[in-house]
Amino acid sequence: MLMLNTEIPGQLATAEDWQRSSIWALVPLLVKAVVQWIGVIIGGAYLTFSGSFQTYAPYWISALALLVLGSAFLSWRYTLFRVSSQGVELRRGVLQKEHLLLAKSRIQELQIQQPFYFRPLQLFTVSLDSAGSQQQEFYLTGLTSEQLALLQGDVQVEQTVPSTPFFRIWLATLYNKHLWLPLLAVLGAVQSQLDDELFERLFAQGREVLQQFGLQQSFEVQLVASLSVLLLIALVLLLMTLISLYPQRFLRNERQLELTQGAVLKKSQRIKAKRVQMLTVRQPWLARVFGHFSLVFHGFTNSQEQSSKFVLLGQTGDDINQQLQAQQLLALSDIQRLPLQRYVPAYFQRLLLVRGIIAVLLSLLSVVLWQTGVVAFSTGALLLLAAVLWLLTDLWAYRRWHGFCVQDQVLYLWHGGLGQFWQVLPLRQVQKVQLLQSLFFHRQQLVQVQFSTANGTVTLAALPNQQAQHLYDQVLKLKPESVF
């Protein structure tokens, strides 16, 4: 291994000097050390409270504390990095030393986060991923603004870049499903910390009060209760928007894309423009009312731990068209004017049968809820009618507005319904093609085609055998060494 001078001068003069993160990096490193040695900690705690080893408790506790503190300190002390003309270099380890060199041209994604405990100190956490890797190469925490500037280079999102309006981002939390996952995680954590019988007692007390006033099955009371729950969810999502999503600033140049989100839990992501493999435009039914979209840039990465996706929330139609044209792709209005190919009617007949079965099951569930007194008959009937109409209307809209087309070696897929989404995939980015045929598809001589990239999949639901084989051969000619 090439031996380098690791002596760090008191004054960091240039980017070529080896540097160490701030001493405050010990805060997250201590947490990481606890997780790393959690098995030893649990075993030591068991021995400490057992009768045979209770007299050695002070020694066990001291040894565990020294183990965790020493592991965190050594990790901080012997982790060095620098930005040189060759790229970004990292040295770490005490007994088993490691030296990594990541050329700037190989950096595919740069993510920057600023946890709440680093905000007053103006410190940051940075991770870098490269092409062809199965894990995250660089993870540095406790970096100063000057050190962050060295890693970022000359492309940064300035505070002068306008943010997406707050109202649009808050609405996006209502109609983007992936933003509900943090909310569900928080609710699950709260419920696990509370008494399991707490919610049951509150429900029983509320039901008793309603019975006393003869309002147990009142439609008005249940409507007010439902609206109260929705209001509570909206307020929680409002708080989540302020903490982790607003302001949202996006910067694009000829080489890179960079997105910064959040006021309290600030994070920043960056990928190279030429590494964008596919784009997804989503417009759920509520977003259609306001004319808003969400745009997802799927970047190139093989990392299984990091997701190389830019999700721009609360975009207008003009914003979407501008970003598509910047990637040398067609605008949404141009996609809809293409000679789109449709799925065969037999596919939608099968979907109608499936949704009919779902409607029957919902009817049985409504009867059970009415018989047990959970909901009033009028409430159950209204909800059942709304659900069935939703299923049938969405299916009709899907059949009415859908299609796909290959134009200039780019696949454009449009799926309608009460909500809409578009997927744009350059065929040269496809790494794998799969032709799937179930028993139903075999009888109808249809095939489901899946185009997979390193960071996303596009599925054509139902194509005739000959057409599916033609698409397969077309992609095979573009990348014969990687498609199978």
Q: Are residue 309 and residue 433 in the same domain, yes or no?
A: yes
Residues 394 and 440 in one domain: no
406 in the same domain as 309:
yes
Cα separation, 286 vs 172, whole angstroms: 9
> Does residue 305 surpass a pLDDT of 80?
no
When pLDDT is averaged across residues 300-324 and rounded to a whole number, the result is 73
Q: Checking phi first, is residue 28 left (phi over 0); if not, alpha (psi -120 to 50) or beta?
A: alpha
Of 161, 153, 148, which is closest to residue 260 (Cα–Cα)? Answer: 161
pLDDT higher than 60, residue 9: no
Average pLDDT over residues 326-342: 86
Would you place residue 199 in the very low, low, confident or very high pLDDT band (cuts 50, 70, 90)? Answer: low
Query: Structural domain tally of the chain?
Result: 3
Query: 12-21, 170-179, 361-370: lowest mean pLDDT where?
Result: 12-21
Is 318 inside a domain boundary?
A: yes
Cβ contact 474:427 at 8 Å: yes
| pLDDT of 6 | 40
Span 28-41, average pLDDT: 77
Give the pLDDT of residue 293: 92
Residue 73 confidence (pLDDT): 85
Give percent of the chain above pLDDT 90.
4
pLDDT at 256 over 70: yes
Grouping H, G, I as helix, E, B as strand and the rest as coil, residue 414 is strand
- For the CA atoms of 236, 238, 242, 244, the dihedral, rounded to the nearest 10 degrees, stands at 60
Q: How far is CA 244 from the centre of its chain?
A: 13
pLDDT band at 160; cut points 50, 70, 90: low
The pLDDT of 99-107, averaged and rounded, is 72
**Three-class secondary structure of residue 282 per DSSP:** strand
Give the mean model confidence (pLDDT) for residues 310-339.
87
Select the more confidently predicted residue: 16 or 298: 298
Are residues 42 and 112 part of one domain? yes
Among the residues of 11-143, which ranges form H helices? 26-36, 38-49, 57-77
Higher pLDDT, 309 or 276: 276
Pairing of strands 456-464, 446-453: antiparallel
- Say what the pTM is: 0.64
Lowest mean pLDDT among 48-52, 312-316, 462-466: 48-52
Q: Is 406 contained in some domain? A: yes
248 domain-assigned: no
pLDDT at site 213: 55
Clarify whether residues 143 and 286 are in a common domain.
no
Q: Is the pLDDT of residue 484 over 60?
A: no
Across the chain, mean pLDDT equals 76
- Residue ranges of alpha helices (H) inside 78-197 are 145-152, 166-175, 180-193
Distances (CA, A) of 339 to 317, 330, 399, 414, 470: 21, 13, 16, 12, 17
Domain that holds residue 388: 345-400
The pLDDT confidence band at residue 221, using thresholds 50, 70 and 90, is low
CATH number of the domain where residue 39 is located: 2.30.29
391 inside domain: yes
More confident residue, 461 or 271: 461
Residue, of 413 and 72, whose pLDDT is higher: 413
